[in-house]
Amino acid sequence: MTDTGEYTNRCECGWEVTGPLDEVVDATIEHGRRIHNMEASRDQVLAVLGAGQPDEPADLTA
């Protein structure tokens, strides 16, 4: 996973955040806590982001 790119996370309620990794993680934790009573750690959010977004850059020239 690279932290130089843009990441996007979307909640099932429709809320969505896009930005640098740290901003996406912080916003996700705050949204979960405030809107859904979820207590998520940074590692948990990173795991979700990592699972949905591959480590290697996509081959955009193929």
Partner 1 sequence: MPGAEALSSDMTRDPVGWDVDSPIQAEVFVVWLDGDQILLTGPDGPHAWYLQLGPTEHPVEVVDRIVRDVVGPPLLVHSTSWRRDRDAVILSFVVVIEPGLVGSMESVPIGRAELARSEATVAPRDIAVEAVVEHGLRHLAWLAEDDPAVAATLPPGWRPILAAYVPEPFRALG
Question: Would you tell me how many other CB atoms lie within 10 Å of the CB of residue 4?
Answer: 6
CB 28 within 8 A of CB 35: no
45 closest CA partner among 2, 15, 10: 10
The least CB distance from residue 12 to partner 1, in Å, is: 5
Rounded to a whole number of angstroms, the minimum distance from the CB of residue 11 to partner 1 is 5
What is the nearest approach in angstroms of partner 1 to the Cβ of residue 23? 13
- Judged by the rule CB under 8 A, the positions of this chain that interact with partner 1 are 2, 4-16, 18, 28, 32, 34-39, 48-49, 51-53, 57-61
